């Protein structure tokens, strides 16, 4: 068993190592250039679109609204990584990692835009009328690489059980046990039941929940973070100095923090950013492809907003809370560091509640969002009839995740999740001519 764990650690380290980061970041730069810096030049348009200031054509195909697709995608990306992941990056890479995390987000906006636009072009309804799309459809219909599409679908359906299900359920059980004294068994039962109520109703029930859950939970979490940042506003200049100094010069040892090199800041900042927003992994297009929209680029703009909220807003505020309260020097790591920062920033026990409840809601939203990702992959492989059995298995696995030890499951699913990037980027990079055409066509009429 120890040998297997050692091999698994090496494989996981390679998959999420320097080559993958170079591939994801390099692809993002390519997409930025190919689209004329769409995430910068069109950011104002993106905000007008998301907030209903841009009208679409009446004739449009799809299953859910554009906002519902956005909410479900955010449900799957805004999660534990935004609370624990940012803290992990800072605890290992120092404050400078926050700078590189934001860089990964800015580049990731172009990647998310590109993968959604291409996926929208090749989407199609399944046998039950649900619009489906993703890298597997692009690889099969657009490039004649059905075998690679099947690999992507298989990776997605399997990775979903770990990344989007068991590890999230385990986080909920841990938070419920620590904060409310609830046993993992009872947490698993309740969580599985709630998941069943949502996902057994299919995509319509999922989006009905996420479109309410996401604005609510993000709003509450961000409100708490903003209050802390304003309370410690006098520390903001120092925090900014720490970020930029650490990004280019490294961070000296202080308190319980052991110090970090520039290389560590770059590595852990980019890695945590990419893990949080999932740009380049091909997950978000699986739900965006279901949206009712008149043009692929129109929905792809929602992908820009998705990464902006996940990385530039939520991750940035989490980082500022950690830095302005000074807990980054404490030696704490992960969710414990974030929790301590909120406890200091929101006295009277409010900080603990914000983090605990936020973590539970974020994790639950990820469970229901990733259920649709995995279901879409299974539908591609086995047809629409595979959807319901997958949902039933999904519910059962939620309970298992809440009560089990998941070190091995986490590493396996994390590896499969990282491997999704390869076929996904083959699909998007291989569709560059289409991407440029779609981008040029849409903005020539909607500038």
Domain positions in the chain = 16-445
In the beta sheet, which residues pair with residue 251?
A: 260
In the beta sheet, which residues pair with residue 260?
A: 251
pLDDT value for 379: 96
Structure confidence by residue, pLDDT tens digits, 311-330: 999 999 999 999 999 988 88
pLDDT value for 56: 63
- Tokens coding 51: 């907030």
Q: Would you say residue 58 has pLDDT above 60? A: no
Rounded Cα distance between 217 and 83, Å, is: 13
User: Which residues have C-beta within 8 Å of that of residue 167, sequence separation ≥ 6?
Assistant: 80, 401, 406, 409, 410, 413
Structure confidence by residue, pLDDT tens digits, 84-113: 788 888 988 889 999 999 999 999 999 999
The 3-state secondary structure of 166-181 reads: HHHHHHHHHHHHHHHC
- Tokens coding 235: 């520390």
pLDDT value for 57: 58
Element of type H or E holding 189:
helix 184-199
pLDDT value for 228: 93
Q: Would you say residue 268 has pLDDT above 90? A: no
Rounded Cα distance between 201 and 199, Å, is: 5
The one-character DSSP state at 6 is: H
Element of type H or E holding 132:
strand 131-132
Structure confidence by residue, pLDDT tens digits, 2-56: 677 778 778 877 877 788 888 999 999 999 999 999 999 999 999 999 998 777 6
Q: Would you say residue 352 has pLDDT above 90? A: no
Q: Would you say residue 192 has pLDDT above 80? A: yes
Q: Would you say residue 387 has pLDDT above 80? A: yes
Using alpha carbons only, give the angle 389, 391, 394 rounded to the nearest 5 degrees.
Answer: 110
Range with the poorest average pLDDT among 63-72, 210-219, 257-266, 281-290: 257-266
Q: Would you say residue 401 has pLDDT above 70? A: yes
Rounded Cα distance between 14 and 12, Å, is: 5
CATH architecture for residues 16-445? Up-down Bundle (1.20)
pLDDT value for 19: 85
The 3-state secondary structure of 332-382 reads: CCHHHHHHHHHHHHCCCCHHHHHHHHHHHHHHHHHHHHHHHHHHHHHHHHH
Q: Decide which of 206 and 406 is more confident.
A: 206
pLDDT value for 297: 95
pLDDT value for 283: 92
Structure confidence by residue, pLDDT tens digits, 152-167: 999 999 989 988 898 8
Rounded Cα distance between 295 and 293, Å, is: 6
21 touches 271 (CB < 8 A): yes
Structure confidence by residue, pLDDT tens digits, 240-252: 999 999 999 888 8
pLDDT value for 149: 96
Q: Would you say residue 59 has pLDDT above 70? A: no
pLDDT value for 277: 87
Beta carbons within 10 angstroms of residue 129's beta carbon: 8
227 touches 345 (CB < 8 A): yes
Q: Model's pTM, two decimal places?
A: 0.93
Q: Would you say residue 236 has pLDDT above 90? A: yes
The one-character DSSP state at 260 is: B
pLDDT value for 254: 80
If you average pLDDT over every residue of the chain, what do you get? 89
Q: Which CA distances in Å does 238 have to 91, 246, 332? A: 17, 12, 20
pLDDT value for 447: 65
pLDDT value for 81: 72
Three-class secondary structure of residue 413 per DSSP: helix
Q: Would you say residue 376 has pLDDT above 90? A: yes
Rounded mean pLDDT of 127-141? 94
Nearest to 122 by CA among 98, 146, 100, 95: 146
């Amino acid at each position: 068993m120890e040998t297997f764990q050692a091999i698994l650690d090496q494989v996981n380290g390679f998959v999420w190592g320097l080559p993958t980061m170079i591939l994801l970041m390099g692809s993002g730069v390519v997409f930025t250039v190919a689209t004329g810096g769409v995430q910068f030049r069109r950011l104002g348009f993106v905000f007008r679109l998301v907030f209903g200031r841009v009208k679409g054509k009446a004739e449009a195909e799809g299953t859910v609204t554009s906002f519902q697709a956005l909410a479900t995608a955010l449900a799957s990306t805004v999660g534990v990584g935004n609370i624990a992941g940012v803290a992990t990056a800072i605890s290992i890479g120092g404050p400078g990692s926050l700078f590189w995390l934001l860089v990964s987000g800015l580049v990731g906006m172009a990647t998310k835009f590109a993968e959604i636009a291409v996926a929208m072009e090749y989407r199609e309804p399944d046998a039950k009328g649900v619009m489906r799309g993703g890298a597997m459809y692009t690889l099969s219909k657009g490039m004649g690489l059905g075998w690679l599409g099947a690999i992507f679908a298989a990776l997605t359906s399997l990775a979903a059980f770990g990344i989007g299900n068991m590890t999230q359920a385990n986080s909920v059980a841990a938070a419920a046990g620590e904060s409310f004294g609830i046993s993992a068994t009872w947490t698993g039962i309740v969580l599985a039941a709630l998941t069943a109520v949502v996902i057994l109703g299919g995509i319509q029930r999922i989006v009905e929940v996420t479109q309410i859950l996401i604005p609510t939970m993000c709003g509450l979490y961000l409100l708490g973070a903003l209050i802390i940042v304003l309370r410690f506003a006098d520390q903001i200049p120092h925090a900014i100095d720490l970020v930029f100094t650490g990004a280019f010069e490294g961070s000296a040892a202080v308190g319980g923090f052991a110090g970090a090199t520039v290389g560590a800041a770059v590595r852990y900042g980019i890695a945590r950013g990419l893990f949080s927003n999932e740009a380049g992994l091909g997950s978000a297009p699986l739900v965006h492809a279901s949206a009712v929209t008149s043009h692929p680029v129109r929905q792809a703009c929602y992908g820009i907003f998705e990464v902006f909220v996940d990385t530039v807003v939520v991750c940035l505020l989490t980082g500022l809370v950690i830095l302005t309260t000074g807990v980054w020097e404490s030696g704490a790591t992960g969710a414990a560091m974030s929790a301590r920062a909120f406890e200091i920033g929101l006295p009277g026990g409010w900080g603990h509640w914000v983090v605990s409840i936020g973590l539970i809601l974020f994790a639950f939203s990820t469970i229901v969002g990733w259920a649709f990702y995995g279901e879409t992959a299974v539908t591609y492989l086995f047809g629409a009839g595979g959807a319901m059995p997958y949902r039933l298995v999904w519910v059962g696995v939620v309970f298992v995740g809440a009560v089990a030890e998941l070190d091995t499951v986490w590493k396996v699913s994390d590896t499969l999740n990282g491997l999704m990037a390869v076929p996904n980027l083959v699909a998007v990079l291989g569709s560059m001519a289409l991407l440029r055409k779609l981008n040029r066509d849409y903005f020539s009429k909607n500038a």
